[in-house]
Amino acid sequence: MEFNHYSVLLEETIENLNIKPDGIYVDGTLGGGGHSYQIAKRLSEKGRLIGIDQDEDAIRAASERLNEFQDKVTIIRSNYANMKEELQKIGVEKVDGIVLDLGVSSFQLDTPERGFTYRDENAPLDMRMDNRQTLTAKDIVNEYSEMELYRIIRDYGEDKFAKNIAKHIVKAREKKPIETTGDLTEIIRESIPMKMQVTSGHPAKRTFQAIRIELNHELDVLQNNLDTMIEMLNPGGRICIITFHSLEDRIVKVNFKRNENPCTCPSDFPVCVCGAVSKGKVVTRKPILPSEKELEENKRSKSAKLRVFERA
């Protein structure tokens, strides 16, 4: 199956990167290479693009797509959490721009055996972004305690029926292990009142999202590495982050704000005495959202938000 991924907010991201032809740019979530292709196209012979992804299928697809740019492009199989170390290995300390597109790729969603989708009944409960990892969604569903399941469905899925869903999962797995995405979807359906299922989209969407975030440590990786990525930017360099989840967006918003104004002094102090220095400025006071045209072309872009920070 071909690795298809519609790059959300593509034009807006490229425009906000302020690409310098001789600059060094990092795409920390390479995917099918949509954003990377547009960056590489704008680079001179001196420019450089480094693409990072932990997904084997993405690496294969992006390598093919970016092949025409040859030495201008370096592709690394890793998590963007390791960006600093991976770049140091190839002699890069500072960069002029970083892109993160935190969505699950269309390929991952549309390839049933990857187990990300709730629309295929016989897919294995996998959901790993990196198949070198041993823990899968099946392990979480069958081994987490009811309390842990409730916590992740409530916090990461923001589902008001989290308690009931966790209870039903535990009850079902006592009879037999929950093996497939279809098994799990059926259990979730039984946990949510029918009238809510009619009005609130697919009943399994939030729980699947929650399990995926937990399994791949998506929020932790984002939270723990934003400061490092901002530190890696050259003066005037920009980081553009596309989120698809309110918790991700909140992490980015709060972090960018703190990097712009890190002062911890009480508001009634006449001058700053804490010595915290601003790292730059938030370019997007409000997030950039998909256009009407993009929403029509790609329904999956509905929850996308782009935020941009510029290094001082």
pLDDT in tens, 222-235: 999 999 999 999 99
pLDDT in tens, 253-311: 999 999 999 999 998 999 999 999 999 999 999 999 999 999 999 888 999 999 999 99
Judge whether residue 6 has pLDDT over 50: yes
User: Beta 73-77 vs 48-53: how paired, if at all?
Assistant: parallel
Q: What is the model's pLDDT at position 119?
A: 82
Note the pLDDT of residue 121: 75
Separation between Cα atoms, residue 77 and residue 58, nearest integer Å = 9
Burial of 42 (0-12, 13-18, 19+ CB in 10 A): middle
| 37/67 Cα distance (integer angstroms) | 10
pLDDT of residue 44: 98
| More confident position, 3 or 191 | 191
Q: Output the pLDDT for position 190.
A: 95
Query: What is the Cα–Cα distance from 27 to 76, expressed in whole angstroms?
Result: 10
Q: Structural domains in the chain?
A: 10-106+219-311 (3.40.50.150), 131-215 (1.10.150.170)
Of 213, 237, 202, give the one whose Cα is nearest residue 96.
Answer: 237
pLDDT at 109: 81
DSSP 3-state assignment of 253? helix
pLDDT at 1: 46
Mean pLDDT, to the nearest integer, of 128-154? 97
Computed over every residue of the chain, the mean pLDDT equals: 94
How confident is the model over 66-75, as a mean pLDDT? 97
Q: Is the pLDDT of residue 90 over 80?
A: yes
- Confidence at residue 269, expressed as pLDDT on a 0 to 100 scale: 92
* 280-282, strands of its sheet edge to edge: 73-77, 48-53, 24-27, 95-101, 233-243, 305-311, 280-282
The owner of tokens 């730059």 is 280
pLDDT at 299: 84
Residue 5 has pLDDT above 60, yes or no: no
**Rounded (10°) angle between helices 181-191 and 162-175:** 130
Whether residue 103 has pLDDT greater than 90: no
Sign of CA dihedral 244, 210, 219, 35: negative
Q: For residues 308 and 188, what is the distance between their CA atoms, to the nearest angstrom?
A: 37
Contact, 167 vs 146, CB < 8 A? yes
